[in-house]
Structure 1
Amino acid sequence: MGLTLFLVLLLCHKGNTESKTSCPYTCQCFSPVQVLCADEQITSLPSNLSKEVKDFIIMTTKLEYLFPHTLRESPQLTKLVFLNNALRSIHAQAFENLTELQELEISGNPQLDHLFLGTFSKQGNLTKLLLNFNRFKTVHPGMFDSLIQLETLQMKGNVISALPTFLFMNLQNLHVLDLSENKLEELIKLHLEWNRISELADGVFSVLTELKVLNLRGNLLTTFSDKVFGFESFNLKEMNLKDNKLTALSSLGRLTSLSDIILSSNQLSKLPENLFTNVTLLENVDLSENHLTSLPQRIFSNLCGIKMINLHKNNLSRLDARLFEDQDFIQQLYLSDNQLETLPLGFLDHFAIQHTVRLHGNPWKCDCHMWYLHDWVVRNSQDIEMPERMLCESPGFLRRRTVTSVDKDELVCQVSKSTMPDLSSCSLQASSDTIIINCKVEKCSPLTVKVQFQEDGGSVEEHIFKNEPEPFQCRNKTMIENPSEVFPDD
């Protein structure tokens, strides 16, 4: 009754400009365009509604059924509200003539447990649909397909336990969706793709404790946090955030059951190091088609079950040697179409099983810094997809050559005379299986010699020998702060 009084006061301020004789019996007409029928004795809709009426509100009546073409004489209606009535059934053609409707509410009917498919088939101009506090148990697939202008949809306070796939697919203009106070705890899959969702409130999915798959692809999200699931760990296994506008992510540590995450085709330029902390069941990570320039060294730490990491088409220019040290059982690694010139020593040595790698589309610099990668590619060419597209970008004399076609002797670094160390004081002697490097140095002349042993498997063992003058003995001498090494580009 409080709500009734509120509506009466809301309409009353418009003024009583229509004569009482033209107003339907037991109803109140506060203006020529607004009619309220709120009598507990009403069991059917009035038949003498004025052609001027735009807003028609029926509430707290004993109305039980809406028959075909019930409102055929009022096609001009733009707002229709059924609130706290006794509705049991609504015919699929009850609103067929109401093609101008913009707002429709059917709420507060404890005996109304379903709607027929096609009930809203003619309401292409509808922008607001409220179906709250009825007894709906489910919703038919395609129920809202015709509502292409809909901006607000509420189905709060029903007993809906499941929603069909693609239920909201055609609602391209939807801004507000309220499914609270239902029985969706056992919902396993939730598809909200290709809407215009730009923000998710903390805890919005907190009651969906059995949710396994969440698809938010093709929305307008700029940030995402696991706080949308509440403050407890969640059972979600698959999450799709592809084709949003994401620029920032926070830790997903509450999603301890997550196995598949798709973050591709967003605008991510950096990631937090703790993004996947505690997400130890993760198997597939898709970060392709973003703007990443680097990755935190420990972002995949302790994620021992990962099978696929997709970093295709980013702006990665360097990667840490230990980035994938915990991914022994990786099966697919995609680094194609980035800005990589080389890979650090040992980068690809952690993988224990046969795997597939994509390395094409990078500006590979085929010089002495590529010895490790070149050897790995030659040994593992069967694991590389499209090796014929893995090309040298520089130096010029190797440009457009495939990496596998380049001899290791061609992988050299150019050193200018100004930076070339003086090797005239060093000599090399070979005797049987022993090589002796003999360098004559002045007491205050620094010199570093590196000796590298490379085994067939590609591992390198390095030994460094330095002549480091004592500062107190050479304080009157001119010292070189950054001495060149014998092998400065290895």
Structure 2
Amino acid sequence: MLICALFCSALQAGGKMFTERVAQLGAWGVLLLWATCVSAANPPWPCPKVCECRQATLQVNCSGKYLTAVPEGFSRDSKCLDLSHNRLKTLSRRQFYGLTKLVELDLSDNSVSMIEVEAFQGLQNLRILKIKRNRLKIIPVGVFAGLSNLRYLDMSENEILVFLDYAFREMVNLLQLNAGENDLVFISQRAFVGLQNLQELNMDRSNLTSIPTEALSQLQSLTRLCLQRLSISMLPNNAFRRLQHLRSLKIMHWPSLQTLSSNTLTGLNLTSLVITNCNLTTIPYATLRHLAYLRYLDLSFNPITSIQGNMLSDLLRLQELHLSGGNLLRIEPGAFRGLVHFRLLNVSSNQLTSLEESAFHSVGNLQILRLDGNPLACDCRLLWVMRRRVRLNFDSHQPTCSTPLIVRKRKFQDFTEAELPGIFMCRQARILDRKSQDAQIQEGATILFDCKADGYPSPYVTWLSTQQTLLTSSGRIRVLVNGSLEVRYAQVQDSGTYMCLATNAAGNDSIFVKLQVQGIPRNRTMSSGEVWSETPYSPSDNSSTQGTNPYPFDAKTLVIATTMGFLSFLSSVAICFVFMFVWSQSQGQIKHTATIDFVPRSSVGGGGVGGDTGRFTMKLI
């Protein structure tokens, strides 16, 4: 300090005196004096011995030092403190009190199982707090007291079981909360009270069995919600009510999710929706219909088999659809009709054999098309893709042909323009056997009408009923797998003209067959006893036809039935007498006779009033 004072006084004296001092000390002496003065003016920045401190950036790095307690001696000017990868187990009350300028605190990868109330008190300027990969099981109310300016909180990969009421009450300016990969089984209805500015919430891989609708309804500023790896099998109606600002919803890896209720997303104005790695077998058209602002839709890795025509037209602003890794067999014509902004389709790794131009509202708007990983049939249906293959972006994944064999595994980019007419062609559907199949059968019989067709690609065979409605593979009148039409147990009303239609991309062909069903004639005869009877048909006749007969039994059948009934009555009476005999023997009272009175019906069919009473006398031996 004395040398520094002399040097400073020399500077102040100036002139000849300063020149003489410099000459005496030399150049190295001057530098030494200057460094001494600087050190005296700026004392060393305080830093714990086990840590590394950088005064220029105000960072303190204590990561990976095997610390079992938070060290002391930090500078009050510190802005970033890294205590990750240590052995900390407990954070005491006001553990970091005094670090008022701290902006970021990292406590990740420790063994913290207990955080006392007000542990972060005094960190009023803290913006980022990371406590992931610890052993926290519960967050007591008041732990986050004093963190009113926190923006980002990462508490993922802990063992937290429940979020209690008002657990985050102090964090009024929090924007992002990552609570994924915990053991959450319950979230209290008021757990998120106070998070009025939260914009992004991530809850992955927990044990929740239902959507915490009431708790989420407190987050009215939420714009992004990510829910991954949950064991929820159904999304109920109004599952995300009051989240009017929600724009992005991600539902990923829910293997039990099979259905979405029609009003699950009611009230939301989503622009991005991701439902992937679930068990949806169909696109939830009813759930999506009101999402007029949706631009991005991802339904990949679901066992969805088709995209139906004219069912997505309500999604007026849709730009991208991803449905890769599914079981898609067909994209119907008009599937994307009305989607004037549609520019990207990703249907890679499915079972598609083709994609027709008629599926799109306008292929001129399409910019990116992913068809790779499908067993594509390179015929006229894909000619529109080939003609646009230069300016159409396949996202660095070139589609390849699966059929015909001569071009199998060839990439689309490898074809020349001259090859296209000879390879990418179709042969119009044609019904092979056009001979007349008009038939006239009796009611109750069964008949088959054949309809075999040929063409390339293989034609799709359908049948239309006499009322021009499409027949299916179920019911009494049904279409078989081989394209034949089966009419079982024919009825008179089945009479009429049926049409078989064979269709493929190159055209269609049709035939008509006429069926005439004759009703079964009924031969009625009058017996002497005024009983109607009819001549029965052979057992081969349809049982449903016989069921319409108003007199199902003839006279002979009635006599047999009456006799059998009388014999059953006598058998019952005999059993009763045997029982009486045994009982009287045991009582010592033997009755040798019994009298049974009966009242016969009158010949006119009246009751027993005024009629004669007959009497049977039976002896017990």
For normalisation by structure 2, the TM-score amounts to: 0.46
> Is 1:201 matched with 2:212?
yes
The alpha-carbon distance between structure 1 residues 256 and 385, as it changes in their structure 2 partners (threshold 3 A), is: same
> Is 1:261 matched with 2:273?
yes
CA displacement 1:393-448 (0-9 Å, x = unmatched): 234344324457353344345999xx5367xxxxxxxxxxxxxxxxxx99x9xxxx
3-state DSSP of counterpart to 1:241: strand
Equivalent residues of 2:309, 2:359 under 8 A apart? no
User: What does 1:291-330 align with in structure 2 at a 5 Å threshold?
Assistant: 291-330=303-342
3-state DSSP of counterpart to 2:384: helix
Determine the structure 1 residue equivalent to 2:164. 154
> Is 1:371 matched with 2:380?
yes
Determine the structure 2 residue equivalent to 1:396. 405
> Is 1:407 matched with 2:407?
no
Equivalent residues of 1:138, 1:162 under 8 A apart? yes
Determine the structure 2 residue equivalent to 1:290. 302
| Corresponding residue to 2:176 among 165, 168, 173 | 165
> Is 1:276 matched with 2:288?
yes
User: What stretches of structure 1 of length at least 5 have no aligned partner?
Assistant: 1-67, 70-77, 83-88, 94-98, 423-440, 445-478
* Aligned-partner Cα distance in 2 for 1:212–1:147: 23
Per the TM alignment, residue 363 of structure 1 is displaced from its structure 2 partner at its CA by 1.0
Stretch moving more, 237-246 or 344-353: 344-353
The one-letter amino acid of 1:182's match is V
Equivalent residues of 2:176, 2:198 under 8 A apart? no
User: What does 1:102-117 align with in structure 2 at a 5 Å threshold?
Assistant: 106=117
Per the TM alignment, residue 355 of structure 1 is displaced from its structure 2 partner at its CA by 1.6
* Aligned-partner Cα distance in 2 for 1:391–1:290: 23
| Corresponding residue to 2:244 among 229, 234, 238 | 234
The alpha-carbon distance between structure 1 residues 147 and 167, as it changes in their structure 2 partners (threshold 3 A), is: same
> Is 1:191 matched with 2:195?
no
Query: RMSD of the TM alignment (CA)?
Result: 5.1
* Aligned-partner Cα distance in 1 for 2:178–2:325: 33
| Corresponding residue to 1:420 among 427, 432, 457 | 432
The percent of aligned pairs where both chains have the same amino acid is 17
> Is 1:360 matched with 2:369?
no
Larger RCO, structure (CA 8 Å, separation 6 or more) = 1
* Aligned-partner Cα distance in 1 for 2:429–2:286: 41
| Corresponding residue to 1:180 among 191, 195, 214 | 191
Equivalent residues of 1:315, 1:338 under 8 A apart? yes
The alpha-carbon distance between structure 1 residues 322 and 203, as it changes in their structure 2 partners (threshold 3 A), is: farther
User: What stretches of structure 2 of length at least 5 have no aligned partner?
Assistant: 1-70, 73-88, 98-109, 439-495, 508-621
The one-letter amino acid of 1:156's match is Y
Per the TM alignment, residue 198 of structure 1 is displaced from its structure 2 partner at its CA by 4.1
3-state DSSP of counterpart to 1:204: helix
CA displacement 1:196-251 (0-9 Å, x = unmatched): 54421333311222211112234444433562322x57221111223333332234
Equivalent residues of 1:128, 1:151 under 8 A apart? yes
CA displacement 1:64-92 (0-9 Å, x = unmatched): xxxx99xxxxxxxx99xx9xxxxxx6435
| Corresponding residue to 1:91 among 95, 99, 102 | 95
Equivalent residues of 1:307, 1:332 under 8 A apart? yes
Determine the structure 2 residue equivalent to 1:469. none
Greater radius of gyration (CA): 2
3-state DSSP of counterpart to 1:297: coil
* Aligned-partner Cα distance in 2 for 1:122–1:235: 28
Determine the structure 2 residue equivalent to 1:8. none
3-state DSSP of counterpart to 1:360: coil
CA displacement 1:301-359 (0-9 Å, x = unmatched): 22221111111221110112111011112121112211111234612352453521112
3-state DSSP of counterpart to 1:216: strand
Determine the structure 2 residue equivalent to 1:129. 139
The alpha-carbon distance between structure 1 residues 393 and 235, as it changes in their structure 2 partners (threshold 3 A), is: same
| Corresponding residue to 1:215 among 226, 232, 251 | 226
Q: How many residue pairs end up in the alignment? A: 348
* Aligned-partner Cα distance in 2 for 1:347–1:488: 13
Determine the structure 2 residue equivalent to 1:430. none
For normalisation by structure 1, the TM-score amounts to: 0.56
Higher helix share: 2
* Aligned-partner Cα distance in 1 for 2:325–2:132: 45
* Aligned-partner Cα distance in 2 for 1:382–1:268: 34
The one-letter amino acid of 1:269's match is T
The alpha-carbon distance between structure 1 residues 91 and 132, as it changes in their structure 2 partners (threshold 3 A), is: closer
CA displacement 1:235-275 (0-9 Å, x = unmatched): 21111223333332234542442111122233322232212
Per the TM alignment, residue 296 of structure 1 is displaced from its structure 2 partner at its CA by 4.2
* Aligned-partner Cα distance in 2 for 1:115–1:154: 23
The one-letter amino acid of 1:161's match is V
3-state DSSP of counterpart to 1:389: coil
Per the TM alignment, residue 136 of structure 1 is displaced from its structure 2 partner at its CA by 5.5
3-state DSSP of counterpart to 1:377: helix
Equivalent residues of 1:420, 1:484 under 8 A apart? no
